[in-house]
Amino acid sequence: MAATEPSPLLELEVGAIATGGGCVAHVPDGRVAFVRHCLPGERVLARITSLGASFVRADALEILHSSEDRVSPPCPHAGPGHCGGCDFQHVSVAGQRRLKAALVAEQLRRIARVDHEVTVEPVAGDHEGLGWRTRVRVGLDAEGRPGFRRHRSHELELVSGCPIAHPGVLATGALGRTWEGLDELEVVATDGGDALIAASGPKRADPALPEGATGFVVNGQVRQPPGAVHVTVDGYRFRVSAGVFWQVHAGAAAALAGAVRDALGARAGDHVIDLYAGAGLFSVLAADVVGRSGSVLAVERNARACTDARHNARHAPHVQVRRSSVTPTLVSQGLGEPDLVVLDPSREGAGRAVSAALAGLRPAPRRIVYVACDPSSFSRDLRVLLDAGWALESLRAFDIFPMTEHIELVAALVPAD
């Protein structure tokens, strides 16, 4: 078969959900197929989209026998060959949560060698899985028209809206106009009415400013204030500048803050370490509990995030913000003797070496709370802690990425007796 010729359609029986948003099947030659746009138990006609040495990728183009969880996608850009941002537009919201629970349980069992029942909890701030995404990133074509990347492609699916975008994002009008001379946009909005557009492009780019009170930042330089948005969580107002990490679901920060608070069990006078601290969400809320007889050390490598964290903790002199990468040496030699540790790494996880350093702290912290957005990397790190004698005390899963395969976990670990 020539590389330019489309592959013939294959009739496949689809099995369990897999990482990457697809399901597992087998093609006639015995290779594993990862098939998108389908559901476990379905029979489909699929076309191979790419070949690997031991597996293939495919798209389900026609559903011969459908699952009870199948629904019509709410977005016209969902489906084979279109926007690659959402994995589960064709799945009921309840079905999505069951799939995610199964995926987390499988990763825990296979990688961490832990059998743990998982229940995916809903989070306030979306409407049947829509209207939740407060931070939307789009590419721009040669004419400046916005679009999302297609699955495993640099090609753009041009759009004028997005059903999972927060209403404040759509209200900026950023997705409905052209942006000549720019390469990419990130549009941010909050429930409080703040809105910000951060753009990147050539150094001399001079695009027209957005209308209204929307902030506009180009290549890190504020062209039209504000250069940050503000989010209120548990009565505290957090500044989040352009390019600084913050949870994208409108209700995620509050949900995760509550889960971390409950899991940590902080007390007055405790010394708390917050690794990968971002804008200081967990640091500020922990400082409120430990009081001035305690202390909080927030560690974050991004300079702008550190500036925001210091601003957000300005009322709490017992919070120290340290700009640093999280390394095994920092953990083993630079954290003192913490009572509690919370870490919220990126999708790659903390890594085996950092996890081993955390497990080796002496005296051992009373509890480690790990916030994870990838079940696979979390399961890898969890195995390191378990092998070092720590125990999984609790695990919660939150549906803060509806319509996608992604999920957020909050796990509490305690040392051996």
Any idea which residue has 């060698």 for tokens?
A: 113
Residue among 23, 38, 162, 373 flagged as catalytic: 373
Q: What is the rounded distance in angstroms from the CA atom of residue 132 to the CA atom of residue 360?
A: 39
83 given a catalytic annotation? no
Q: Is 293 exposed, middle or buried (0-12, 13-18, 19+ CB in 10 A)?
A: exposed
Short-list 51, 104, 58, CA closest to 81: 58
Rounded to a whole number of angstroms, the CA Rg of the chain reads: 23
- 226 prior amide bond cis, ω within 30: yes
Pairing type for strands 146-149 and 340-343 reads unpaired
Amino acid at 44: V
* 291 Rama sector, left if φ>0, alpha if ψ -120 to 50, beta otherwise: left
Residues 6+ apart with CB under 8 A from 280: 238, 274, 298, 308, 309, 310, 312, 313, 319, 321
CA atoms within 13 A on the CB side of 324: 16
Q: Which of 216, 131, 140 is nearest to 168 (CA)?
A: 131
**Nearest one of 6, 41, 35 to 21, comparing CA atoms:** 35
Q: Which residues contact 30 (CB under 8 A, 6 or more apart)?
A: none
Dihedral in degrees, nearest 10, Cα atoms 26, 31, 34, 36: -60
CA distances from 319 to 16, 344, 370, 386 (A): 46, 18, 20, 30
**What's the number of CA atoms in the CB half-sphere (13 Å) around residue 346?**
9
Please name every residue paired with 371 in a beta bridge, in sequence order, or none if there are none: 410
**Strand pairing category for 295-300 and 271-275:** parallel
360 to 250, 329, 332, 333, 340: CA distances (angstroms): 36, 12, 7, 11, 14
**Residues belonging to the active site:** 373
